[in-house]
Structure 1
Amino acid sequence: MSNQMINMVIRMITRKLINKGVNKGINMAATRGRDPQDMTPAERQQAKNARQQTKNARKAMRVTRKIGKF
């Protein structure tokens, strides 16, 4: 394998690990570090809404990036 291929694989793996960490952090912030079973139904709904808002923000960010490429 060439050095370029090795770097590409390393970048891909690093990107996946960072994305997993970011997602985990967002979920921890949404649930405030609590187990969903220990939360009230209102708190669970609030955490669900926070995750949904984050998902929508990511979608919007992707769309703006695509528009910016033109």
Structure 2
Amino acid sequence: MNVNQLVNMIFRMFVRKAVNKGVNAGINHFAKGDGQGKQARQVTKRARQAMKVTRRLNRF
């Protein structure tokens, strides 16, 4: 493994973590900010489930 591959691997790890934090922050903001509490929680739950499914699919 050369230096370029190591740098790319580390860069991807940081970008993945930053994107996941941003997505989670957006979902949490939507869930808290909306006055329709139960409906917002359901949408949040579906969004989190969709994120889990896409992570599983991206492994292959």
How does the TM-score come out when normalised to structure 2? Answer: 0.61
CA 1:47/1:34 → structure 2, altered by over 3 Å: closer, same or farther? closer
Aligned-residue offset at 1:47? 2.2
Larger Rg: 1
The aligned residue for residue 38 of structure 1 is none
Unpaired segments of 5 or more residues in structure 1? 36-40
Unpaired segments of 5 or more residues in structure 2? none
Whole-Å separation in 2 of the counterparts to 1:10 and 1:47? 34
* Paired positions, count: 56
CA 1:14/1:44 → structure 2, altered by over 3 Å: closer, same or farther? same
Could you tell me the percent identity over the aligned residues? Answer: 33
The aligned residue for residue 46 of structure 2 is 49
Could you report, residue by residue, the CA deviation over 1:35-66 in whole angstroms, capped at 9, with x for unpaired residues? 7xxxxx73444423211122223444x38xx5
How does the TM-score come out when normalised to structure 1? Answer: 0.55
Q: 1:30 aligned to 2:27?
A: yes
Q: 1:18 aligned to 2:11?
A: no
Whole-Å separation in 1 of the counterparts to 2:30 and 2:14? 20
Matched-pair contact (CA < 8 Å) for 1:31–1:44: no
